Structure 1
Amino acid sequence: MSRSSYDRYLTVFSPEGRLYQVEYAFKAISGSGHTAIAVRGKDTSVVITQKKVADKLIDASTVTHLFSITPTIGCVMTGLIADARSQVARARSEAANFRYKYGYEITPDALARRIANINQVYTQRAAMRPLGISMILIGIDPEFGPQVFKLDPAGFFVGFHATAAGQKQQEAMNFLEKKWKKLEGGADDAAKAGKRLSRAEVIEMAIEVISTVHSTDFKPGEVEIGIVSDAPEEDEKTRGSWRVMEDDEVEAHLLAYGEKD
């Protein structure tokens, strides 16, 4: 049988053991034209992604790939934005149910595990289809500090010190690995290397990666930055909470990175 005979059904394996419909969901992520970067340090987690407004008539303030899930957890979604909004709504519902049931906010790893389980169900029932998006969750865990988790359409999730998703994922991952090897100079492992990154260094690294892989000096309106930080430099009102940076703050960080070059 030809490949087309196996890619019509979500629940049918090809002779090579592949589920083509799930693979197509991964292609939808890389084909979206966006790249997202996430980095975590000793007291801060940051996500950065491109902001593309397709038409001058569109209100730019309504275009975003960054979403708040709980007061302390946010995410960047890469892929089909309609699927992204659907998954964000489900994540918010799961987080609210957890708060109602247990009396405290869900932790980033528990939320990542729950959404990954839901994603996996979408790969095993013929009446569903995998969502064509990659979710990168960031938040502060009361016990373990800053966290970064990436979830894919197949239901796999794992924690990262730094990661990327989207169009330039592989180039970004390669660049991040090189940066991490330099950091590991005096550290015993990657975890200790990450603990040396301050709030400013985490933001700078995220900007450096997205600028390098796209060979572009971005303007404030062309990128979005989401942050969760417990650092002393963070304003007391927003410390430990998820927020999206305003354009003037983004511009300050972009200028600081540009001047360093």
Structure 2
Amino acid sequence: MTGSIADARASVDRARGEAAEFRYKNGYEMPCDVLAKRLANINQVYTQRAYMRPLGVATTLVSVDDEFGPQLYKCDPAGYYVGYKATASGPKQQEALNHLEKKLKNKEHAPGSWDEVVELGISTLSTVLSVDFKKGELEIGIVGGPRADGQEGTDTEFRTLTEDEIEERLQAIAERD
């Protein structure tokens, strides 16, 4: 989420409530695209009502769907939502989007394994911000990467990378350059 912290907290609480209610009513987890549409509809109502202040937050949703695989959606305060291969939010959003567009042009998705995709994200940030990162300066979350317990297979749960894993990715980028 990017934007107002208070609005982000309210939006996250609302999204959790919507997902919990959907699961209770339907017996399965709410798909990412359905949640994105619901949040966009709620945001759109906030922009139309004169007595309601629009939410000042852009929401990025990431999930691994059983039917469609990895999904990425972004909702803006005006009620617009769209699916992406890769996206960015924040002050240098357009520069990051331009960089990602050049790297992923004419591709269905980011090529390579999870670690190469993480390296693409780090290199995009590094290029846009003109900064060489250290392991303690980044926080990276992944969905669908290797299991945290070291066993075989992929983990469909969200988790943050450890500083050692981030250091490995930074080393791989440095060696590649």
Q: Same fold (TM over 0.5)?
A: yes
Cα distance, 1:180 vs. partner?
Answer: 1.4
Instruction: Give secondary structure in 1 for the equivalent of 2:120.
Output: helix
Q: How far apart, in 2, do the equivalents of 1:160 and 1:126 lie?
A: 32
Counterpart among 81, 106, 110 of residue 157 in structure 1 = 81
**4+ runs deviating over 4 angstroms:** 235-238
Give the counterpart letter for 1:167 in structure 2: P
**Alignment partner, residue 161 of structure 2:** 245
Q: How far apart, in 2, do the equivalents of 1:238 and 1:91 lie?
A: 26
Residue 137, structure 1, aligned to residue 61, structure 2: yes
Instruction: Give secondary structure in 1 for the equivalent of 2:48.
Output: coil
**Alignment partner, residue 124 of structure 2:** 209
Instruction: Give secondary structure in 2 for the equivalent of 1:97.
Output: helix
> 1:158-188 CA deviation, whole Å, 9 max, x = no partner?
000011111101111111111113xx3xxxx
Going by fraction, where is strand more abundant, 1 or 2?
1
Going by fraction, where is helix more abundant, 1 or 2?
2
On the 8 A contact 2:143/2:157 being kept in 1, the answer is: yes
Give the counterpart letter for 1:214 in structure 2: L
Cα distance, 1:224 vs. partner?
Answer: 1.6
Q: How far apart, in 1, do the equivalents of 2:30 and 2:82 lie?
A: 17
Cα distance, 1:195 vs. partner?
Answer: 6.3
Q: How far apart, in 2, do the equivalents of 1:221 and 1:152 lie?
A: 30
> 1:123-172 CA deviation, whole Å, 9 max, x = no partner?
01112111111111111011110011011000000000011111101111
What is the RMSD of the two structures over their aligned residues, measured on CA atoms?
Answer: 1.7
From the superposition, tell whether residues 240 and 85 of structure 1 become closer, same or farther in structure 2 (CA, over 3 Å): same
Greater RCO, CA 8 A, separation 6+: 1
From the superposition, tell whether residues 247 and 171 of structure 1 become closer, same or farther in structure 2 (CA, over 3 Å): same
On the 8 A contact 2:110/2:117 being kept in 1, the answer is: no
Q: How far apart, in 2, do the equivalents of 1:154 and 1:200 lie?
A: 34
Instruction: Give secondary structure in 1 for the equivalent of 2:50.
Output: coil
**Alignment partner, residue 222 of structure 1:** 137
**Aligned positions of 1:78-97 closer than 5 A:** 78-97=2-21
From the superposition, tell whether residues 198 and 238 of structure 1 become closer, same or farther in structure 2 (CA, over 3 Å): closer
TM-score with structure 1 setting the length:
0.63
Q: Which residues of structure 2 form unaligned runs of 5+?
A: none
Q: Identity over the aligned pairs, expressed in percent?
A: 57
> 1:55-109 CA deviation, whole Å, 9 max, x = no partner?
xxxxxxxxxxxxxxxxxxxxxx112222111111111111111111111111111
Cα distance, 1:238 vs. partner?
Answer: 6.7
From the superposition, tell whether residues 195 and 169 of structure 1 become closer, same or farther in structure 2 (CA, over 3 Å): closer
Instruction: Give secondary structure in 1 for the equivalent of 2:73.
Output: strand
Query: How many residues matched?
Result: 174
TM-score with structure 2 setting the length:
0.91
Q: How far apart, in 1, do the equivalents of 2:84 and 2:162 lie?
A: 26
Q: Larger Cα Rg: Structure 1 or Structure 2?
A: 1
On the 8 A contact 2:85/2:110 being kept in 1, the answer is: no
Q: How far apart, in 1, do the equivalents of 2:9 and 2:164 lie?
A: 27
Q: How far apart, in 2, do the equivalents of 1:97 and 1:90 lie?
A: 10
Q: How far apart, in 2, do the equivalents of 1:130 and 1:226 lie?
A: 28
**Alignment partner, residue 45 of structure 1:** none
Q: How far apart, in 2, do the equivalents of 1:83 and 1:220 lie?
A: 30
199-208 vs 151-160, which moves further: 199-208
Q: Which residues of structure 1 form unaligned runs of 5+?
A: 1-76, 185-189
